[in-house]
Amino acid sequence: MILSNGASLAAIAPILAVMITGMIVLLGDSCLKLWRQAKWVSPTISVLGLVVSAALACSLIGTSGQQLAFSGALTADAFSQACNIILAVIAALAVMGSATYLENRGLQHGEYYVLVLFSTSGAMLMAAASELIVLFVAVEILSVALYVLAGYARTERKSEEAALKYFLLGAFAGGFLLYGIALIYGGSSSIVPGQVGTTNLRALGIYLHQMPAPNQMFIAGTALLMVGLAFKAALVPFHMWTPDVYEGAPTSVTAFMAAAAKVGAFAAILRVFNAFIPISEYWLIIVQVLAVATMFGGNILAVVQDNVKRILAYSSIAHAGYLMVGISALTGSGAATDALKAEAHSAAMGGITFYLLAYGIMTMGAFGVLIWISRRGRDVQTLNDLKGLVKTDPVAAYTMLIFMLSLGGIPPTMGFMGKWFLFYATLQAGQLWLAVTLALASIISIYYYLRVVWVMCFTEPDENAVAPGRAVASGGVVVSLIASAAATLLFGVAPGLLHSLMDAASTVLRP
């Protein structure tokens, strides 16, 4: 169903809400003196805007069907609304967790929230993009704001380094993405004779379905597109920037970056490769190799880290690998009949959506605990800072325990259910070996998650590590931690509550 222009605007209302909130905060903070002096105004308005956005997305998610907005440039279907909800939740958690952390580090400026909101809107657009050019613009909206955020502690060398590294490599990856799009445009012109090229994913999906024999230019374009997106999602051969950037950026930014950028990137990967399913014999093996390399690479490299932020960075790489398994399951390559393939497709869609939400919440939670501990005026970096946390700060330690178990995939947590759904979808798709690999890789991951727990619970507090300084009461962090811990446990016990969210994802049809 192609929407009229007015209806298109209504269909992307959640994205517009985030953008408008960003502009309001930008104007208010720069022009109004009272707004600037009351430090709570910008974060409060930002959270309100995100709540409005999530509410709009919730109300629109019921209007199912393939709604093509703006002449097919955006697909405002239930999956994009589900991603809008996930991203709004992540951004709201990030904003709530940031306020006092920024104040403690002397980084409290209104622009922070503006950048968070703008990059959230970019990630939301990535989830809705069904035109490769729009996808590129959305990637840049997300990334440019993140480059600035990574260097937000601009007087610190590590933060500067993180920003520069992220910017240079990100710009390079953007080049790959754009070149891939150009080649796909050129290559698609000869798929259907007499047609000019197209970058519309829906049109490409239809062409490829009719004539699944792409030329070499098209395949090369797909490969370059994969490189560009794999960089954004931090898959293993393209992951080098992740630990350095995550370590150097302020912790609140790291949390947001880890969660939102990955959700956006995977929503985009899902859109692109869903359209390219008819030619999956060309790319499936690459996706599977990337998945295996990412799972093992991320997990094994995390084992040897001593810096908590780096551990979480490698853990986020490993989680990208698990999600890649879901992308592989989309094809249903091993399923016997078309009906089974369709079943595997919808199982994989639901699994990926659930996992994106689970990953977002538990990552925000784990970094949120680091932010919470940092309230004493010392930025928590290494495992030493966590020594004996159970004695100095038992609540933080137990909350961290929940998130570590969830990230490791131990029941009864959301992380376990997410892995279970991906595992199930992979079995449905007839890719038994990949499912087994996923299980093996998660076993490795349990070592380093439990290592964090061990350091917190079974070592003596290091006198030098946690400086007993002022403990600033930080309401936002507490709310965001309670919310994410509660969600992790609740949806781990009763994942059926998210049934409508997972069903929404299956509206993205097999071409």
Partner 1 sequence: MVEYIPLLVMLLVSAVVAGVMVSASAVLGPRKPSGYKASSYECGMSPVGTARERFPIKFYLIAMLFIVFDIETIFLYPWAVTYRALPHALRVFELVEMGVFVLILFVGYFYIIGKGALDWDESEAATSNDRHDPTVMAPRPPLRYGNEDSGPVDITRAAGTVGAPTYGASSQEQGLQSAGTAAGSVR
The site for partner 1 (CB under 8 A) is made up of 5-6, 23, 26-27, 29-31, 33, 106, 108-109
Which has the closest alpha carbon to 106: 246, 250, 308, 245?
250
Q: Which is nearer to partner 1, 29 or 247 (CB)?
A: 29
Q: Which is nearer to partner 1, 23 or 494 (CB)?
A: 23
Nearest distance, CB of residue 184 and partner 1, angstroms: 25
Nearest distance, CB of residue 106 and partner 1, angstroms: 5
Q: What does DSSP assign to residue 471? A: -
Q: Which is nearer to partner 1, 28 or 186 (CB)?
A: 28
Buried b (16+ CB within 10 A) or exposed e, 468-484: eeeeeebebbbebbebb
Nearest distance, CB of residue 42 and partner 1, angstroms: 13
Nearest distance, CB of residue 107 and partner 1, angstroms: 8
CA-CA-CA-CA dihedral for 500, 501, 507, 511, to nearest 10:
-140
CA torsion sign for 144, 150, 156, 158 is: negative
Give the three-class secondary structure for 68: strand
Residues pairing with 200 in the sheet: 131
CA torsion sign for 462, 463, 465, 466 is: positive
Helix axes 262-275, 110-128, angle to 10 degrees: 20
Residue with tokens 């006198």: 463
List CB contacts of 4: < 8 A, sequence separation 6 or more.
none
Nearest distance, CB of residue 18 and partner 1, angstroms: 14
Q: Which is nearer to partner 1, 35 or 372 (CB)?
A: 35
Q: Which is nearer to partner 1, 8 or 222 (CB)?
A: 8
Q: Which is nearer to partner 1, 34 or 213 (CB)?
A: 34
Nearest distance, CB of residue 45 and partner 1, angstroms: 15
Q: Which is nearer to partner 1, 9 or 479 (CB)?
A: 9
Q: Determine how many CB atoms are found less than 10 A away from the CB of residue 116.
A: 30
Q: Is 21 exposed, middle or buried (0-12, 13-18, 19+ CB in 10 A)?
A: buried
Q: Which is nearer to partner 1, 11 or 487 (CB)?
A: 11
Cβ 152 vs Cβ 159: under 8 Å: yes
Nearest distance, CB of residue 1 and partner 1, angstroms: 19
Angstrom distance (rounded) from CA 282 to CA 286: 8
Q: Which is nearer to partner 1, 27 or 494 (CB)?
A: 27
Cβ 88 vs Cβ 359: under 8 Å: no
Angstrom distance (rounded) from CA 278 to CA 280: 6
Query: What region, left, alpha or beta, does residue 427 occupy, with left being phi > 0 and alpha being psi -120 to 50 degrees?
Result: alpha
Q: Which is nearer to partner 1, 44 or 108 (CB)?
A: 108
Nearest distance, CB of residue 51 and partner 1, angstroms: 22
Buried b (16+ CB within 10 A) or exposed e, 255-293: bbbbbbbbbbbbbbbbbbbbbbbbbbeebbeebbebbbb
Q: Which is nearer to partner 1, 155 or 216 (CB)?
A: 155
Angstrom distance (rounded) from CA 419 to CA 440: 12
